[in-house]
Structure 1
Amino acid sequence: MCLGIPGRIVALVDEEAMLASVDVSGVRRTVDVVCVAEPGRPLAELIGAWVLVHVGFAMSVIDEEEAAATLKVLTEIGEAEGEIEAMRSGSVEPFHPSPALRAS
């Protein structure tokens, strides 16, 4: 993926590794949620949240209106389908740093 694309967190995949399943227009992918997780808060609170996904990472939490508007613009400029296809084909996988790197 080249652009950030909105998706909704639908499940936790691995809490320790901070991985969640995100639905982007019907395509589900595992993404790293380390950038949107709030220290001291349960990761499960992210389920249902809309996030902007880029190269296997949930980069920021966005609201549903912003998600819909972003998807609309990406569709209008012809970029949404390419991003969704990249997710569908599995051409982008999240980076999984070692636990030692996460602690630093």
Structure 2
Amino acid sequence: MEILPGHTDLAKVDVSGVRRAVNVGLLDGETLRPGDWILIHVGFALSKIDEDEAKAALDFLEGIGQAYDDELAALRDSSIDRG
């Protein structure tokens, strides 16, 4: 969604409706813009991916059913929204 002002290594992102701050420092040198898709793991952006890859990943996660729903619920409960 946006790079946080004063924190060039942090971005506010939307993960299935949950807004979180994630560290984008591992993507140093990558041009990031609102609307870009990034692969996130434990609060770190690992790579920039295209929309087709993102859709495939989301389809897979939604396909595992309750485990994905439980993970989203836990993510919402731990929501961190800076800025």
TM-score (normalised: structure 2): 0.77
Shift of residue 19 of structure 1? 0.5
Distance 1:82-1:14 versus aligned 2 partners, 3 A rule: farther
Which digits, 9 at most, give the CA deviation of each residue in 1:19-50, with x for residues without a partner?
Answer: 101111111111000112317x6xxx332210
TM-score (normalised: structure 1): 0.63
Which ranges in structure 2 are unaligned for 5 or more consecutive residues?
Answer: none
Q: How does 1:1-104 map to 2 (within 5 A)?
A: 10-16=1-7, 18-38=9-29, 45-78=32-65, 79-90=67-78
RMSD: 2.2
* In structure 2, C-alpha distance between the alignment counterparts of 1:62 and 1:88, rounded to whole Å: 23
Give aligned-pair identity as a percent: 44
Which ranges in structure 1 are unaligned for 5 or more consecutive residues?
Answer: 1-9, 94-104
Q: Which has the higher contact order (CA 8 A, sep 6+)?
A: 1
SS at match of 1:35: helix
> What is the number of equivalent residue pairs in this alignment?
79
Distance 1:71-1:56 versus aligned 2 partners, 3 A rule: same
* In structure 1, C-alpha distance between the alignment counterparts of 2:49 and 2:9, rounded to whole Å: 19
